[in-house]
Homo-oligomer: A and B are copies of this chain.
Amino acid sequence: MSTGRDGGEKSGGGASYAASGVDVVGLEPGLGGLVRRLAATTAFPRVGRPALPNGFFANVLDLGTGQGLAISTDGVGTKLLVALAMERFDTIGIDLIAMNVNDVLCVGAEPIAVVDYIAISTTDPNLLNQFAIGLVEGARQARISIPGGEIAQVRELLRPHPPHGESFDVVATAVGVVPMDRIVVGQHVQPGDVVIGLPSNGIHSNGLTLARRVLVGERGPAAYRERPAALGGASVGEELLRPTRIYVAEVMALLDAGIDVKALAHITGDGLLNLSRIAAQGVGFVLDSLPEPQPIFAMLAEAARVEKAEMYTTFNMGIGFCIVVAEADLQRTLAILQPVEPRATVLGRAVADAQRKMVLPGPGLTGTGKTFSPLR
């Protein structure tokens, strides 16, 4: 998700998110007033003013030393409800770190630390201990410290969940460092530049409201323990809990090697349309070499009977992160990525397009903003 104040979940149409409990229509007006008011705060600090407008994956504060501080905040949304139903808490911490550090990476910053906040109904030592295991694993993968945090026991704010009436919410903030003259927001992307995709690990932390409605619905926790053949042995709950991939190693390998990375996009709640959030004017994308999404996505599409446009707007469809480089840098980029992530592949290219469309010839979709529709 985004420091640019997306809602936690949102949708296009069809079997829409509004029906799944996320009221998109209500979200936008409330959000607009809030975002406009907060914009005024940019002028308040004596040092460390934000260098970017709203809407990118992270903002960057100009520390006045040539160094910028990237900052982003996010939670894991209703993936927590799957963890509660499965009574399994040792991977949610990885998702929480991932959702935040992947956003900080997108401005070209090296993540350095994450602080977390846990709102909890009862301080179950087992739950907290398991949650910490995931946090530490996420921190290890992201090469960040967790220098502080807060546990708030606020039972009265939280809705109890079966089987034991426990409830919790988790939020984190990531910070990272980037030289002020190396901030990446896609401003130099040109037609002909190449989009490289890094595979996701399933649905990550977006689209869970729709996925839960479709795969579990009113059937309750037992539905999470079913093992449909399509999932190759995993239960529904295990599949949905697969932790969000952390892309620090891939991106830092490129930045460390001095590759001129032109754009970085964490593929979250708007699917591949996240790539459209970059700053380049007059540039669109044609992604004509998308890999086959994992079986969970076909299973979701079939069970939900939603259109492809809805699927690609809601889910990552197998790609968790995109990297844009010039054609001239492609071979070196792939060579550097190879030992870190051998499944990195070219998805397509930037093209000249005043409308800044994202075109996906494979599934037959075209999109702008936050919605895909069928390609005519």
Contacts and interface: CB of A to CB of B under 8 A. Distances in A.
Contacts of A61: 112-113, 145, 147, 175
Contacts of A175: 48, 61, 69, 71, 175
11 contacts: A3-B147, A5-B148, A33-B132, A34-B129, A37-B135, A38-B132, A41-B136, A42-B145, A43-B145, A48-B145, A61-B145
Contacts of A52: 147
Contacts of A115: 3, 71-73, 173
Contacts of A142: 44
Nearest to A116: B73
Main secondary structure of the interface of A (DSSP, over half): mixed
Copies in the complex: 2
Contacts of A152: 1, 7-9, 75, 77
Nearest to A141: B44
B45 A148 contact: no
Interface string A154-178: 1111111000000101010101010
Interface of A: 1-9, 21-23, 26-27, 29-31, 33-34, 37-38, 40-50, 52, 54, 58-59, 61, 63, 65-67, 69, 71-75, 77-78, 80-81, 110, 112-113, 115-117, 119, 122-129, 131-133, 135-136, 139-140, 142-160, 167, 169, 171, 173, 175, 177
Given A3-B115, A61-B113, 15 more contacts: A1-B152, A5-B151, A37-B129, A38-B149, A42-B147, A44-B144, A45-B112, A50-B145, A59-B147, A63-B177, A81-B157, A115-B173, A157-B167, A159-B159, A169-B169
